[in-house]
Amino acid sequence: MNANEFTKELITRYQKNNGRELSYEDLGSFLCEIIESNGGLYSVPLNKKTAARIIHEFQKNVLKLPDLDWGDATAFLDIYDCKVCANALAQCYLRGYISPVNEKIIGGDEIITDPESIISRFC
């Protein structure tokens, strides 16, 4: 699954489970960019960093959830490998959507082989 497919499945599942149709305004520009993308950026295999950014944007724009204090997420040695993704990875880890490789590595570049499990935990 790639980022485009993941985003569409996440939105579809959320709408189905909550009986709420989401507009582009609800989703925000980042999620809309992924939905409308036909280019290569969002068609590569889905990794943890990208999944975390998608989920985090959904949390902020649709669910209006505040960010949690990083707490245990600060222990990951690779959390700042991508400064754009760091907070999203931390938030998804803290909420239980993304699992780390081990107690010191979150593994942001790791390809997600079971995106359905993330969607199920989120929705």
Going residue by residue through the chain, which has 123 residues, state the pLDDT in tens, using 9 for 90 and above.
999 999 999 999 999 999 999 998 889 888 888 888 877 778 889 999 999 999 999 999 999 999 999 999 999 999 999 999 999 999 999 999 999 999 999 999 999 999 999 999 988
Give the number of other Cβ atoms within 10 Å of residue 103's Cβ.
8
Residues 6+ apart with CB under 8 A from 26: 61, 62
Determine the pLDDT at residue 106.
97
Closest residue by Cα to residue 6 from 40, 37, 46: 46
Q: Is the dihedral of CA 35, 36, 40, 43 positive or negative?
A: positive
As a whole number of angstroms, the distance between CA 110 and CA 123 comes to 22
Query: 70: which 2 tokens?
Result: 């990083």
As a whole number of angstroms, the distance between CA 123 and CA 14 comes to 6
Determine the pLDDT at residue 30.
87
Q: What is the pTM of this model?
A: 0.91
Kindly state the helix (H) or strand (E) to which residue 22 belongs, with its residue range: none
Determine the pLDDT at residue 33.
87
